[in-house]
Amino acid sequence: MPHIDNFRVEERDIPELLDGRILCQNLFISLESGFRNWMDEGSGDEILPAMPIGEPVMGLTLSRVLESRNPLYRAGDLLMARFAWEEFTVTDAGDFISPLTDVKHPLNYYLGVLGDTGLSAYFGLTDYGDIKPGETVLVSAAAGAVGSIAGQIAKLYGARTVGISSTAAKCQRLISDLGYDAALDRTVADLDKAMTIACPDGVDVYFDNVGGPMLQTVLNHINEEARILLCGSVATYNNPLPQPGPNNLFQLTTRHAHMHGFMTHLQLARYDEARTVLAGWIEEGHLVVHEHRLQGIENVARAFCDLFAGVNFGKTIVVL
Amino acid sequence: MPHIDNFRVEERDIPELLDGRILCQNLFISLESGFRNWMDEGSGDEILPAMPIGEPVMGLTLSRVLESRNPLYRAGDLLMARFAWEEFTVTDAGDFISPLTDVKHPLNYYLGVLGDTGLSAYFGLTDYGDIKPGETVLVSAAAGAVGSIAGQIAKLYGARTVGISSTAAKCQRLISDLGYDAALDRTVADLDKAMTIACPDGVDVYFDNVGGPMLQTVLNHINEEARILLCGSVATYNNPLPQPGPNNLFQLTTRHAHMHGFMTHLQLARYDEARTVLAGWIEEGHLVVHEHRLQGIENVARAFCDLFAGVNFGKTIVVL
pLDDT tens per residue, chain B (320 residues)?
999 999 999 999 999 999 999 999 999 999 988 899 899 888 888 778 899 999 999 999 999 999 999 999 999 999 999 999 999 999 997 778 889 988 989 999 999 999 999 999 999 999 999 999 999 999 999 999 999 999 999 999 999 999 999 999 999 999 999 999 999 999 999 999 999 999 999 999 999 999 989 999 999 999 999 999 999 887 777 777 888 899 999 999 999 999 999 998 888 899 999 999 999 999 999 999 999 999 999 999 999 999 998 888 999 999 99
A215–chain B Cβ distance below 8 A for any pair: yes
For A67: left if phi > 0, alpha if psi spans -120 to 50, otherwise beta; the answer is beta
- B261 interaction partners in chain A (CB closer than 8 Å): 250-258
Indicate whether A17 pLDDT > 80. Answer: yes
Measured between CA atoms, the residue of chain A closest to residue B258 is A260
Is the distance from CB of B129 to CB of B227 less than 8 angstroms?
A: yes
Beta-carbon separation of B249 and A230 below 8 A: yes
pTM of the full predicted structure?
Answer: 0.91
Determine the Cα–Cα distance for residues B231 and B209; give it in Å rounded to an integer.
Answer: 5
Contact A252 B244 (CB under 8 A): no
Range of weakest confidence among A12-16, A43-47, B3-7: A43-47
Residue-level pLDDT at B265: 81
**Which chain A residues have a beta carbon less than 8 Å from that of B260?**
252, 256, 258-259
- The bridge status of strand A203-208 relative to strand A136-139 is parallel
Contacts of A211 in chain B (CB under 8 A): 249-250
Record: contact B258-A256, CB cut-off 8 A: no
**Which of B116, B128, B253, B264 to mutate against chain A (most A CBs within 10 Å)?**
B253
Query: Which residue in the set A47, A244, A253 is minimally distant from B230, CB to CB?
Result: A253
Crossing angle for the helix pair B168-178 and B147-156, nearest 10 degrees?
40
- Domains along chain A with CATH numbers: 4-109+291-319 (3.90.180.10), 116-265 (3.40.50.720)
Interface of A with B in 80-99 (CB under 8 A): none
So what's the pLDDT on residue B93?
78
Q: Chain B contact for A8, CB < 8 A? A: no
Q: Given CB atoms, is A231 within the 8 Å cutoff of chain B?
A: yes
Q: Is A48 on the interface with B (CB under 8 A)?
A: no
Structure confidence by residue, pLDDT tens digits, A261-303: 999 888 889 999 999 999 999 999 999 999 999 999 999 999 9
Q: Does B48 touch chain A (CB under 8 A)?
A: no
CA distance to partner chain B, nearest, from residue A73 (Å): 31
The answer to whether B253 contacts A245, with C-beta atoms less than 8 Å apart, is no
Asked if A137 and A280 count as a contact pair (C-beta separation under 8 A), the reply is: no
User: Do the beta carbons of residue A261 and residue B253 sit within 8 Å?
Assistant: yes
Among the partner-chain residues B215, B244, B257, the one whose CB lies closest to the CB of A261 is B257
Instruction: Give bridge partners of residue B319 from the DSSP assignment.
Output: B28, B295
Residue A310: is its pLDDT beyond 90?
no
- Helix (H, G, I), strand (E, B), or coil: what is residue A73? coil
A13 vs A47: CA distance, rounded Å = 30
- Neighbour count for residue A14 (Cβ, 10 Å): 12
- Interface contact B258, partner A, CB < 8 A: yes
Confidence of residue A144 (pLDDT cuts 50, 70, 90): very high
B217 close to A (CB below 8 A):
no
Chain B contact for A61 (CB, 8 A cutoff): no
SS3 per-residue string spanning chain B: CCCHHHCCCCCCCCCCCCCCCEEEEEEEEECCHHHHHHCCCCCCCCCCCCCCCCCCCECEEEEEEEEECCCCCCCCCEEEECCECCCEEEECCCCCEEECCCCCCCHHHHHCCCCHHHHHHHHHHHHHHCCCCCCEEEECCCCCCCHHHHHHHHHHCCCEEEEEECCHHHHHHHHHHHCCCEEEECCCCCHHHHHHHHCCCCEEEEEECCCCHHHHHHHCCEEEEEEEEECCCCCCCCCCCCCCECCCCCHHHHCCCEEEECCHHHHHHHHHHHHHHHHHHHHCCCCCCCEEEEECHHHHHHHHHHHHHCCCCCEEEEEC
A111 pLDDT band, cuts 50/70/90, is very high
Q: Which of A36, A123, A231, A259 to mutate to test the interface with B (most CBs of B within 10 A)?
A: A259
Residue numbers of A between 105 and 124 with CB closer than 8 Å to B? none
- Give contacts of B244 with chain A, Cβ < 8 Å: 244-245, 247
ipTM for the predicted complex:
0.89
Q: Which residues of B touch A246 (CB under 8 A)?
A: 245, 249
Please indicate whether, in this complex, the C-beta atoms of A231 and B249 are within 8 angstroms of each other. no
State how far Cα B75 lies from the chain centre.
Answer: 30
| Smallest Cα distance from B126 to chain A, Å | 15
Q: Is A58 helix (H, G, I), strand (E, B) or coil?
A: strand
In what helix (H) or strand (E) does residue A315 lie, and over which residues does it extend?
strand A315-319
Residue A96 has pLDDT above 90, yes or no: no
Burial class (CB in 10 A: 0-12, 13-18, 19+), A70: middle
Instruction: State which H helix or E strand residue A63 sits in.
Output: strand A60-68
B232, A249 in Cβ contact below 8 A?
A: no
Q: Is B239 on the interface with A (CB under 8 A)?
A: no
* Contact in structure between A31 and A37 (CB atoms under 8 Å): no
Whether residue A253 and residue B231 make contact (CB cut-off 8 A), yes or no, is: yes
- Altogether, the residues listed in chain B come to a count of 320
Helix, coil or strand: residue A295: strand
CB-nearest to B250 from A236, A244, A266 is A236
Point out which residues pair with B26 in neighbouring strands.
B63
Q: Pick the closest to residue B80 from B48, B110, B117 (CA basis).
A: B110
Give the C-alpha separation, B110 to A243, whole Å: 43
Directed axis angle between helix A116-124 and helix A271-283, to 10°? Answer: 90
Of A230, A247, A248, which is closest to B252 when you measure between CB atoms? A230
Q: How does DSSP classify residue A56? A: P
> How high is the pLDDT of residue B237?
75
